[in-house]
Structure 1
């Protein structure tokens, strides 16, 4: 806007002054709104408020530009005023263009920070979700033992931890964690120990020697060799030796 006032006629002077007043009125309203926007962006983006930084830079440049034009209007002769106004305008336009050119970088930084924050929160929520208190672990253990006592699900030779967790309505990771920590073994070892205890119970209840084949099939083993290894690992002796020892003492 040219600030060189023309004093040739009162009408022209009136319109120039009116335009001058309206121009600066809208300038200060715009200036105030931009400051409010910068303050709002600070609250939204907390410490790393790139958007607020560039708003303040733009407002500073705009205020400096207007100040220099007003100064030139008052103190610079008319013949030099136009050259100064064009120089100031060019500098301001270049600076505004520089700010606009860098907006993509500002937006990219904000998106990266938001993504990193979201990813960190998801990891935190995921870890928090997998944490179990001692009471929660004990409750799950009690549920496992109650379910096993009622259903004797370990007798299923095709039993997997996935189907076991599904039938108990317990998340797989939580179930595995409880078995590992409270029973000191993995799911396979835990189920085999239950099968061995059941096999021992069958032997102890039987008045005569039962067939080893009948026993390992009944408790959930698929082969005699696997049953023998698991039985000896659990008791220190083979099923035959356990039978002989029991019936001898009986």
Structure 2
């Protein structure tokens, strides 16, 4: 048991350090940092309580147990919110997403001062924690009945875990062909989070199926796995840079990468966006242009594009300048010229070049001719003459 407690103690220390690091980090997406910090701190609390109980410090654990309880009821929601915000690239919670914090509010009410007159059997609760049943405490721990712990919390874990994977599989972020920069990190996060959430069900599963179960072996296995993961994290900083390590400067340049890429990464950090979010923005911008064709509207501006995607205007501008390599005017005129090249052969017999250009979104003839020459290198008449010859 001593060796297992040693491994668990080290894991507990790393969880605390990483959670504090994320909470006070000034780089990266603050919302993602806070959600991940809450998750890690919640796990730290669970490991710490287990350490106190297994090391015969049962007299000191009740206060910490009550302090950490609200975090345990919000952790499943944080796991889900972190995932969907990571995929969608939001930088703040939407109004309806605050509803996910209701279980934590209920937990605070559950532990409120007016339940002090109600007796709580902390000795029996400690015994259940020793048996690794933290997810299924059958004793009342506060104002509400024992079902609040033994049923409500496991249901939260299962529901949020299932819906998280449903959301991920429904998106294309795990598709290698999509080329999401954050794919590897999200896979690590999902697999690790899923493993430790499901591990809480193992003791109950073993007892229900009447299978041989070793409490010491279980603690040793979980503690060792957690420690191995922490060591892996520390030895793979590039994989976790921008997600778990967000206050360090790492040389992101690979041998095959061109020199200008690190400069772009520095700019990304300045506007607090991760590489995968910029890729998502770029893909979303292109999808809007190709499906809804707003470039056909002559008054369409970058403000309208940002509004359609619900992202800041300066983020749109950054993606255009650094990922797509064009300013907004040249980018939208490129779509208009391609539309013109498709429409002209079909309408040339009954419409003038200028009329077709106007239908394709050009506000003035001069703008059209300048854009056409910039895109093709020659004027429209010469271009179509060459097409006929060829």
Q: Same fold (TM over 0.5)?
A: no
Q: TM-score range by the shorter chain?
A: 0.3 to 0.5
Q: Which has the higher contact order (CA 8 A, sep 6+)?
A: 2
Larger Rg, first or second structure (1 or 2): 1
